[in-house]
Amino acid sequence: MMKNNPKIIGLSGTNGSGKDTVGNILANQFNYLFVSLTDMLRMELKNRGLVTSRVNMRALSSEWRKDYGLGVLVEKAISAFEVNDLNKTGVVMASLRNPAEADEVHKNGGVVIWIDADPRFRYDRIQANLLSRGEERSVDDQITFEEFINEEMAEMNNPNPSDKTALDTSKIKPKSDYVLINEYKNIQELSNKLAQMLNL
C-alpha cells in the first residue's frame, strides 16, 4: 500500500478530536476534495423531514449499511471524487465509524488516520468553538461533559456484535495506518504534522 501522497484518506477517531479540521486542512492546503460523511447523513435526514440528531444519524447510517453494504458511505465519497475530480490531489473523508469502512478505504488503496486527544481537551475545544461549528452541530454540542462521554461511548462500542451495520468506531483504531494525537496549539502546527506524516 502506498502511504506517501495517498489519493484516498479516511479519517476516524473520537468526538471533537478535529476530524473536520484535518479534512479542511487537507482540502485547503493540499488540494484534496473533503467529503463529510456526517453531512451526507444530515442532508438525507433533512430530505426525509427528520431531525438531524446523533441518534437519527446513527439509525440512518445503519440503515444504509444494511441496504447497500457496509462500505456504502466510503463508496459514496469516492464516487463524489470521481465525478468531481477537478484536478484534486485525492479525496479525504470524515468520519469513519464502522470498521468495514476502514476496510473499504484500504480496498481502494487508501489510508486511515485515527485522530484523538484527551477527552476533557476535546470537550473544552468543542465548547469554545460552538458558533464556528454551525447551527446544527452547535445544538448537538450544547451538552455536559458527562453527556459528551456517554454519547461517545454509544458510538465507540457496538452493544450488539451480531449487528455488523451499527457504529463500532473503536474497532477502527487497530486498522488505522496512522494515529494523530491532535492537541496542537494552532492550525499551522497541525498542518505541518500532516505534511510530515503523509509526505505531502
The reply to whether the predicted model has a pTM over 0.85 is yes
Of 107-111, 134-138, 193-197, the one with minimum mean pLDDT is 134-138
Task: Report the pLDDT averaged over residues 29-49.
Answer: 95
Distance CA(134)–CA(150), nearest Å, equals: 22
Fold of 8-192: Rossmann fold (3.40.50)
DSSP 26-84: HHHHH-EEEEEHHHHHHHHHHHTT----HHHHHHHHHHHHHHH-TTHHHHHHHHHHHHS
Q: Kindly indicate the confidence band of residue 129, based on its pLDDT and cuts at 50, 70 and 90.
A: confident
Over residues 174-184, mean pLDDT: 95
Cell of 119: 477527552
Domain boundaries, the chain: 8-192
What's the pLDDT tens digit per position in 87-109?
899 999 999 999 999 999 999 99
pLDDT tier, 1 (very low <50, low <70, confident <90, very high otherwise): very low
